[in-house]
Structure 1
Amino acid sequence: MPNATDDTEPDSTTVPWTPPRPAEIPALHTSLRAWLGHPFFFKVTIDALDAGQGTIIPAAANPLEAAVILHQEETRRLGSAELYAVDEEMTAQALAAGARLPDWSVQPADLPAEQGFLVFDSPIGHSEATDGLIAPIVACSWGPSPHCSPPAGAVWLTFWSAPVLDRLVQAGIEAGLDPVEAQREVKRGSPPLVWDDEALVCWSAGEPDIPTTPRYIPSEEVSGVIAKERTLPWIQTVLAAWLLIQEPAIVEITEQRASRPERRRAERAGRPLPPVRVVSIHRRVSTATRPAEPSGRTVNVRFRVRGFWRDQPYGKGRALRKRTWIPEHWRGPEDAPVLIRPRVTVVEAPPEPAD
């Protein structure tokens, strides 16, 4: 689980990411579970822990024992995970909604599933990979963690990045393999995703509790959000995605399965492939014009309103509140003149490669 120093925008040295088709995600999920038990993957985790990397470290006698705990727990989480594929437009909506979350409050009902594995069509962040490359964060898995379970409850998140394959392919070519053979060998000998970092979000979390040291050993007194600062935007995006998935007025969810030959092979091996839920923005949302709400004033122009969160009343006597995302929309009469407001976008510079 290599860790980076910053969350950045991509640059020319970004590791390429071609998202899998939704029908390919069940096989990717199965492959990832198998890789968690592979000696190579174990060695990567052990070396990372021994080098002081990782955010939440089990209380163990040595890096090997800690790696066993981490891999066993992640294998169990993935084993019972519901699968989600988030398309590019929905990913953009989750990024925008996550950046505008008013706080870090999270309840079990906010999760679309107790355990899940979510693959984004486009990156939700970036971190420094090997040789100074920038690896995109493209997936998140979540679920309980027996070794990190405060009395009030919490959910563990694991963030996955795209693997660094191009340089491995080039190394194979330089070793004498033809390009097609080199690509085949790298694909067969590399995990589909790389464990990048992890975080713990406690129920009813308020302001994020960031460890003051690079590593955190779980205790019963844990509360808030346990994470490195660089992962906080990723967490916000995932929290927003969880909430949006449960908004039928905003998203539409379809179900896809792996190809029939893949399903048959998996069933013969005793490992049936689960379906994947494909999450997309509802078509009518992207061009919606929300009706004006009574405000005591007349709107004579047409203008765009940025998306925002609203605490929607529900339940008996409308006494309960549910956080609901109001997507970006147009306000004002359709035949009114359009008011253009300038928008400033601040882009962070990429980090300097490590020496």
Structure 2
Amino acid sequence: MTSPASARWVPPAPQDLPEWRAQLMDFTASEASDIAMRETLRAGRCTIVPTMRNAPLDSGTFAATVLNGAEHARLSQADLYYATADMTALALAAAATPPREPVSIERLPSESGFIIFEEPIGGYVEDVGAALVGRVTATAAKDVRITTPIVAASWTAWTPQDIQITEGGTVTWGYMTRDGYIAIPPDTRGIWITYYSPCGVTSGLPPQTVLGTLSDGTTFTAAMFETTRQTAPDRGPLNWDNEVLLVEGTEFAAGRPDTTDMWSHTLYTAWQLMTSTGGTRWTETEEIPRARAGRKRDARQNVTGTSAVRVVNVHTAHRPPHDASLADAAASTGRREPSWSCRWPVRPYRRSTCLNPGGHATGDCQHEDRIVSGHVKGPPGAPLRTGTTVHLWDHQPKTDA
């Protein structure tokens, strides 16, 4: 088995985020993006799928066009956020348990947004050879696996009525599940999230790695794939990876590893940290303005979201020591969620806070999920001690005869 790719995720500088958004918008509006989305639909990778009776195009082309149009609009309306490595690790630490409150649109820091994480918020292992069968190769090599990191997300508050086609009929939206297509009721309110991974799916594989064979029997290598990708239309720095709809009022369940469940727990927790109004102030935000030339480009692309970047960091009162951050970064592969063992030896935890204690006994109250600061027990300045306590017996305990 080929070892998982070792190349680290290299995030952009915060001031480059508007340009990344612009490149993604260019690609999303292109014919190449429609082709890629049709392939994604055929592979069953899409969760939210539009259909329309008597659609003006075949079903795959119609769905791809609508989905890309929706993502293009989402990016154009998005406010821009950059989560630092410490902020990413804090969100992951607090998201070790799922959010306890039901999904709430009120938790969004802005109605539409696009966020880059300086460290991945998760990842999944994929057989690259198997993924290329039918798209590039005729057969797949065995067990050519890499880890794909999830590093960015776009979102918007959404209802099925937000996207309608006037020509030909009404769009019906539904989930693709293991049991088939399930319609989304038209009065549904929720948060549509798209997750992104870095471009370069074979990043880190040795160039001579065989991914499969072509129809003529020729071997197809990682180097050949990278050459093909470089001559293809510019996809921008990120790949559309997956999406999910968080329906307002639904409860978060325990997440399945390496799925949108876990990534959504972390993203929603980041929103909770960013919008906390009571108790602990968790974050500090610095705004980096867009250069004048960039603002002109945004205007040409009809961007209505902010062009400035909001850099979100952990508040100085809770920020871990620099040495602890470096130790965790050194232990990270850069392709999976980072460790926080040094940054937060006792991780933050959740507490359901009653906002109307007087009505608590009768159930006439409202609860809010608040995140409580992690801590290290012991007097200030004392050496940090973590790990398992070992009880040593100096002799065998006596037993009754």
TM-score w.r.t. length of structure 1? 0.71
Please tell me whether residue 69 in structure 1 is matched to residue 66 in structure 2: yes
Which deviates the most, 266-275 or 121-130? 266-275
CA RMSD, Structure 1 to Structure 2 (Å): 3.9
Counterparts of 1:139 and 1:191 in 2: how far apart (Å)?
13
Find the counterpart in structure 2 of residue 162 from structure 1: 198
Aligned-partner SS, 1:47: helix
Please tell me whether residue 33 in structure 1 is matched to residue 25 in structure 2: yes
Matched residue count? 298
Matches within 5 A, 1:271-350: 274-286=307-319, 305-314=346-355, 319-334=365-380, 340-342=386-388
Deviation readout 1:143-187 (Å, 9 max, x if unpaired): 12534565241111111100117589x79xx79xxxxxx8xx679
Matches within 5 A, 1:158-307: 158-164=194-200, 166=203, 189-208=234-253, 230-247=259-276, 249-267=281-299, 274-286=307-319, 305-307=346-348
Matches within 5 A, 1:105-124: 105-124=102-121
Counterparts of 1:236 and 1:333 in 2: how far apart (Å)?
33
Counterparts of 2:271 and 2:153 in 1: how far apart (Å)?
11
Taking a change above 3 Å as real, the CA distance of residues 334 and 229 of structure 1, as seen in their structure-2 partners, is closer
Deviation, 1:334, is 2.9
Please tell me whether residue 54 in structure 1 is matched to residue 46 in structure 2: yes
Counterparts of 1:91 and 1:47 in 2: how far apart (Å)?
32
Which deviates the most, 20-29 or 329-338? 329-338
Matches within 5 A, 1:141-160: 141-143=154-156, 144-146=158-160, 147=173, 150-160=186-196
Contact map agreement 1:135 1:164 (CA 8 A) in 2: no
What code does the residue aligned with 2:310 have?
R
Matches within 5 A, 1:128-147: 128=126, 130-131=128-129, 132-143=145-156, 144-146=158-160, 147=173
Contact map agreement 1:55 1:199 (CA 8 A) in 2: yes
Deviation, 1:208, is 4.3
Taking a change above 3 Å as real, the CA distance of residues 207 and 139 of structure 1, as seen in their structure-2 partners, is closer
Contact map agreement 2:199 2:239 (CA 8 A) in 1: yes
Q: Which has the larger radius of gyration?
A: 2
Contact map agreement 2:5 2:204 (CA 8 A) in 1: no
Deviation, 1:129, is 7.1
Aligned-partner SS, 1:77: helix
Deviation readout 1:54-92 (Å, 9 max, x if unpaired): 222222551111101111111111111111100001000
Counterparts of 1:265 and 1:141 in 2: how far apart (Å)?
20
Q: Percent identity?
A: 29
Deviation readout 1:17-48 (Å, 9 max, x if unpaired): 21011111011111111111111111111112
Gaps of 5+ in 2: 53-57, 130-144, 161-172, 174-183, 209-222, 322-343, 360-364, 390-401
What code does the residue aligned with 1:308 have?
Y
What code does the residue aligned with 2:350 have?
W
Counterparts of 2:232 and 2:282 in 1: how far apart (Å)?
37
Contact map agreement 2:159 2:188 (CA 8 A) in 1: no
Taking a change above 3 Å as real, the CA distance of residues 261 and 322 of structure 1, as seen in their structure-2 partners, is same
Aligned-partner SS, 1:244: helix
What code does the residue aligned with 1:246 have?
T
Gaps of 5+ in 1: 1-10, 176-181, 211-226, 289-302, 344-355
Counterparts of 1:58 and 1:241 in 2: how far apart (Å)?
29
Deviation, 1:100, is 1.7
Aligned-partner SS, 1:85: strand
Contact map agreement 2:27 2:234 (CA 8 A) in 1: no
Contact map agreement 2:121 2:263 (CA 8 A) in 1: yes
Contact map agreement 2:15 2:288 (CA 8 A) in 1: yes
Counterparts of 2:7 and 2:36 in 1: how far apart (Å)?
19
Which deviates the most, 93-102 or 53-62? 53-62
What code does the residue aligned with 2:319 have?
S
Counterparts of 2:93 and 2:237 in 1: how far apart (Å)?
27
TM-score w.r.t. length of structure 2? 0.64
Which deviates the most, 197-206 or 243-252? 243-252
Contact map agreement 1:256 1:277 (CA 8 A) in 2: yes
Deviation readout 1:106-128 (Å, 9 max, x if unpaired): 11111111111111001111133
Find the counterpart in structure 2 of residue 45 from structure 1: 37
Which deviates the most, 51-60 or 34-43? 51-60
Contact map agreement 1:99 1:233 (CA 8 A) in 2: no
Aligned-partner SS, 1:99: coil
Taking a change above 3 Å as real, the CA distance of residues 207 and 85 of structure 1, as seen in their structure-2 partners, is closer
Contact map agreement 2:123 2:258 (CA 8 A) in 1: no
